[in-house]
Amino acid sequence: MFDKILIANRGEIACRVIETCRKMGLRSVAVHSDIDAQARHVEMADQAISLGGATPAESYLRGDAIIAAALKTGAQAIHPGYGFLSENPDFVEEIEAACLTFIGPSATAIRAMGLKDAAKKLMEEAGVPVVPGYHGPDQSRLPIRADEIGYPVLIKAVAGGGGKGMRQVSDPKDFAAALRDAKSEAKAAFGNDAVLIEKFVKKPRHIEVQVFGDGTDAVYLYERDCSLQRRHQKVIEEAPAPGMTEEMRAAMGEAAVNAAKAAGYKGAGTVEFIVDASGGLRPDRFYFMEMNTRLQVEHPVTEEITGIDLVEWQLRVAAGEPMPLRQENLSITGHAFEARLYAEDVPAGFLPATGRLDHLRFPDEARIDTGVREGDEISPFYDPMIAKITVHGADRGDALRKLETAISQTELVGTTTNLAFLRALTRHEGFAKGDVDTGLIARDAETLTAAPQPCTRTKALAAIAALSLDDDAPLQGFSLWSPMTWEVRLGDDADGVIARVSVLGRGVFDVEVEDITHRIEMTPSLRIDGEKISASLWKGAEKIAVFLGNTYVFDRVDPLDQASDAASSDATLAPMPGLVKEVMVAAGDAVEEGDPLLILEAMKMEHRLTASRAGTIAEVTVGQGAQVTSGDLLVRLEEVET
């Protein structure tokens, strides 16, 4: 076994690997960018080496610097985590050339599965079912083959993942534009603009099988259902898949093992299948999509139902030990869910968000995989994931109740998150029944993505917090023989709301909000109008938060402050920090509503900004390659004369 391992990654996966190293008595080495110098994974590791820079290209993608750090610190092996260099075969060969061990599959296996077109050809030869489509080298065949297999079709980058370089096309007339956009995004994300096409399955479920190999043999550690997606990115994963039959599980497991054996796979990997669920789960209705030659983000749900530490298995097999268990020794216990908590603005279209984590609390009953702590900054340079919230229950219903509770009890202030969206998903009727497919979120997007609005009870609690009456401090020295009343303004919307708080006794208040009066008792437990509730409050210098199922944040507003004027529809502002990838208009150009103005690249995704109305471009304030921050003016239309 190794003595010291370098983790070539950051965030929650780096922390996850370090935890297993600690458990096994192994020393760990972290690498970090300049802005990650005080990050949680750096704090947890036994040693840390700076890679410099801020962007991935300046830090975590510098394979030469990572190998040099391993040699300098005496690490014998490198764990890549996921993302960054985890599926780069050249990096694997460079590690081996330095007489170090790569904790993962061989460069040959990564190359075999790294390009979707080559992987599908290999799978066909191994007898693994694949989706009808075209994955050959002649890109001019794409529109022809699309017509042959029939619409809708899916365009996918051959070197892609995470939804980048992917477009769904339902009408032949839209194919050329979608192909152009997919190729552009694929080129930017992966340095390779080649794409393939597949027949789009109308009621698709995304079910993947966890495999583990030793280079010659392989086992499967059952399946995960990852159908709950938005824009082809996973949101909530679960294991096992709802509605899975033993016949279907055996067929998918056998196909996944055949795929791993065909690649001579060593270590942890995932074989992803698209399942046509229109007639229920049947063994003849699943198709190979791709193989991820690394540990998956959602691996905790597999660990929860099998009781296996997949990172430990990775380390042991990479060190030359045999696989700890054979297929006949593996089994499933209970059900598990994982929810991905992101810094993102859901109502605004899931735009990535940044900010400082002023307050962060997770429930003790859930498994939390995170790379951040209270006080950390969510930067624009890396993936905006904050944490993975994982629960395990006796069955699916039990696990789902635990997930809803864990999400409701998570407290976070300082950046916009998808917590309310996750909670809405756990309460979705179809999802609760296990009737899931990859289109569920899109179909019910209006309901699921609506920002929760605070009720008068929530505003009443916020008013008490704004006056710090929840800790009795303002009441010290007062005789409470007669009620005292305060008036407070909360900036929960553009106009704010006025609340009148009357102190009736220690910990007892009447709060009038929007012509409704609530009796609030804070001792010995919190009651509103006689009903005992579970809620908590947080107070900052400028903001107040009430955690009551969802998170509600209020500004402390000075009554003399004037509300700022709303931005005009003439101005296109940057919705987030990012890089201007392409500018499509110039001053003097005429545009129609919805015409593309520019492309902003942020958090590894491209965002197309469009004209809010018809008009003439008055000015463009940025050029290609410009770095902008949230709220910056990008394009302005000429004013309309009235």
- The encoded tokens of residue 530 equal 């006689």
Counting residues of the chain whose pLDDT is more than 70, the rounded percentage is 94
Cα distances (Å, whole numbers) of residue 453 to 123, 193, 457, 492, 559? 50, 43, 11, 9, 22
What pLDDT shows up at residue 474?
46
What pLDDT shows up at residue 177?
94
Question: Would you identify the CATH topology of the domain 107-131+204-333?
Answer: D-amino Acid Aminotransferase; Chain A, domain 1 (3.30.470)
Average pLDDT over residues 441-450: 93
Give, for 314, the enclosing helix (H) or strand (E): helix 310-318
620: exposed, middle or buried (C-beta count within 10 Å: 0-12, 13-18, 19+)? buried
- pLDDT band per the 50, 70, 90 thresholds, residue 562: very low
- pLDDT band per the 50, 70, 90 thresholds, residue 109: very high
| Residue pointed to by tokens 């498994």 | 367
Q: What does the pLDDT look like over 591-603, one tens digit per residue?
A: 999 999 999 886 5
Distance CA 497, CA 570 (A): 30
What pLDDT shows up at residue 563?
31
Architecture of domain 571-637: Beta Barrel (2.40)
- pLDDT band per the 50, 70, 90 thresholds, residue 122: confident
Cis peptide before 240 (omega within 30 of 0): yes
Angle at CA 513, nearest 5°, toward 511 and 518?
40
Return phi, psi of residue 195, to 5°: -130, 165
DSSP state letter for 522: -
**439: β partners:** none
Q: What does the pLDDT look like over 517-542, one tens digit per residue?
A: 999 999 889 999 999 999 999 998 88
Counting residues of the chain whose pLDDT is more than 90, the rounded percentage is 73
Q: Using an 8 Å Cβ cutoff, are 87 and 62 in contact?
A: no
Distance CA 538, CA 73 (A): 43
Q: Using an 8 Å Cβ cutoff, are 53 and 37 in contact?
A: no
Q: Using an 8 Å Cβ cutoff, are 53 and 33 in contact?
A: yes
494, pLDDT greater than 80: no
User: Can you give the three-state secondary structure of 228-294, one letter per residue?
Assistant: EEECCEEEEEEECCCCCCHHHHHHHHHHHHHHHHHCCCEEEEEEEEEEECECECCCCCEEEEEEECC
Average pLDDT over residues 488-503: 76
Strand order in the sheet with 133-134: 133-134, 195-199, 153-157, 166-169
**50: β partners:** 32
Q: Using an 8 Å Cβ cutoff, are 486 and 500 in contact?
A: yes
Question: Would you identify the CATH topology of the domain 133-199?
Answer: Dna Ligase; domain 1 (3.30.1490)
- The encoded tokens of residue 223 equal 């399946």
What is the overall mean pLDDT for the chain?
90
Distance CA 109, CA 211 (A): 14
568, pLDDT greater than 90: no
Return phi, psi of residue 634, to 5°: -110, -50
18, pLDDT greater than 90: yes
DSSP state letter for 176: H
Q: Using an 8 Å Cβ cutoff, are 353 and 383 in contact?
A: no
Strand order in the sheet with 615-620: 571-573, 633-637, 615-620, 590-591
The region of weakest confidence among 161-165, 453-457, 592-596 is: 161-165
- The encoded tokens of residue 181 equal 């956009």
Q: Which CATH class is domain 341-449?
A: alpha beta
Q: Which residues are catalytic?
A: 294
Q: Which CATH class is domain 456-555?
A: mainly beta
86, pLDDT greater than 60: yes
Distance CA 476, CA 210 (A): 60
- The encoded tokens of residue 353 equal 């968000």
- The encoded tokens of residue 516 equal 């409704």
Q: Using an 8 Å Cβ cutoff, are 130 and 287 in contact?
A: yes
Please name the amino acid found at residue 266.
Answer: K
Domain boundary assignment for the chain: 4-103, 107-131+204-333, 133-199, 341-449, 456-555, 571-637
Return phi, psi of residue 45, to 5°: -70, 160
Please name the amino acid found at residue 398.
Answer: D
Nearest to 462 by CA among 369, 545, 365: 545
What pLDDT shows up at residue 343?
96
Sign of CA dihedral 434, 435, 436, 441: negative
The two domains 456-555 and 571-637 share their CATH topology (first three levels equal): no
The residues, ordered by sequence, that sit 6+ positions from 545 with a Cβ below 8 Å of its Cβ are 359, 411, 413, 537, 538, 539, 551, 552, 553, 554
237, pLDDT greater than 80: yes
Q: What does the pLDDT look like over 30-81, one tens digit per residue?
A: 999 999 999 999 999 999 999 999 999 999 999 999 999 999 999 999 999 9
Q: What does the pLDDT look like over 376-420, one tens digit per residue?
A: 999 989 989 999 999 999 999 999 999 999 999 999 999 999 999
Helices 116-125, 246-262: axis angle to 10 degrees equals 110
Distance CA 39, CA 30 (A): 10
What pLDDT shows up at residue 635?
94
Q: Which CATH class is domain 4-103?
A: alpha beta
DSSP notation for 76-119: -EEE--SSTTTT-HHHHHHHHHTT-EESS--HHHHHHHHSHHHH
What pLDDT shows up at residue 541?
82
| Residue pointed to by tokens 């660990």 | 303
